[in-house]
Every structure is written in structure tokens, then in C-alpha cells.
Amino acid sequence: MVLLMILSSKTILKKIEEEELTIVPFTKSHVQLASIDLRIGNHFMIIDESSTPFISLERPAIYNEVYQETIIIPPQGFVLGTTIEYINLPNDMTAFVEGRSSIGKLGLFIQNAGWVDPGFKGQITLVLYNANRAPIKLKAGRRVCQLVLALLDQKGTGYIGKYYEQEEVKESRIYLDEECENTNTMREKFKEFD
């Protein structure tokens, strides 16, 4: 049986000190018992709902991009944000993002847009969702989520995907998935028979 080994505060601090794990800027007081708190930056992206009748997985979505110190997320509003911190995970470590419980209790749900793969480098794009009937005001620099780190049972090759070395918020790039390429290729083939 393989157990997931979550890193403790002592191990997190040791890995940072030995430069096996990079979190920049690093604030020692943000290290918790089994995680490290991350802060929201001032770059946000919001899907432009007026530009299209529907969102497709086969083509890029259109976003409105804003840089501001304060954002108001409307009721049932969805916004992409980013961490201030730049992360560099070694190839034998993975991570996931959890919203801080105190913020979740206000109805603001925060997670990252996917699992943080081993070898990932960059700022983490955050998915912010307001489950309330009232708007939520959020200021850049606020600790909003925690990064939980875990060791793999063996070292991998490391992440080199669509979001490698991302800076600031990155929109969904699902339209670059191989399924989309295969669908477009099949459409071209079937056009020959029309």
C-alpha cells in the first residue's frame, strides 16, 4: 500500500533552506503545520460572457483582463486570479491548492485550475468562485489559499505542459489538448467525402 506523504512545516522549511523547493517571495510566517499560505496577486481574468453564445472546449475562450489592487466578485461570479508567489517544485514533489477555511466560510471557494504537477515552475492560476448572493471584495496581497506539498514514491521527468513557467494568470488552454487536434483532423478528412 502506498501512502501519500504530506510535508510538515519542518520539512517544508528544510527543503526551502536546501533549495530543493523554491517559493519566491518566501515569508516564513506563512508556513503552517502541513502547508504554506499563498497570496493573491493583482492580475485577474474574467470570461467575457457577452462575446459568445457558449463556451467551447475546442477553441479559446475570450477573457477580459484586469490589473487592479481590489476586485469585487459578484454573486455566483467566477474569476481567475494568480498567486503572488512563484513556485518551483522538484520532480519528486507534487502539490495541491486548498482555499483557506476562514475564506471558505464566507462563501468564497478557491482552488487552483488543476493539480500542481511535479517539476512545475511558475505562478499558480487560482479559480475564485463566489457562492453567495452578495458580492465579495478581495484585495491583492491577502493570503487566500494554502499549498499542500506531497512527496512522490519515485522521481519523475517533471512537468513541461501548456502552463510551464507561467507568469500571472493563464487562461484555459484546453483547446490545445490532443482530442481537439484529432477532432479537427477527422473533420478535414470527412470534408473530402462531402
Cα–Cα dist 34/13, whole Å: 11
**Cβ neighbours of residue 188 closer than 8 Å, sequence gap 6 or more:** none
For 13, the enclosing helix (H) or strand (E) is helix 9-17
Q: Where are the alpha helices (DSSP H) in 59-111?
A: 101-104
Domain encompassing residue 135: 5-191
The span from the CA of 143 to the CA of 166, in Å, is: 20
Total domains present in the chain: 1
Q: What is the pLDDT of residues 152-180, one digit of tens each?
A: 988 878 766 666 667 777 776 677 777 76
Residue 17 and residue 7: Cα distance in Å, rounded? 14
* Global pTM value: 0.83
pLDDT of residue 189: 47
Q: What is the DSSP string of 145-184?
A: EEEEEEE-SS------STTTTB-S-----GGGSHHHHHHH
The pLDDT assigned to 71 comes to: 96
* C-alpha–C-alpha distance, residues 45 and 189, integer Å: 36
Longest Cα–Cα distance of the chain, Å, equals: 65
- In this structure, what CATH number is given to the domain that contains residue 41? 2.70.40.10
Low-confidence ranges of the chain (pLDDT < 70): 1-3, 113-114, 159-165, 172-173, 180-194
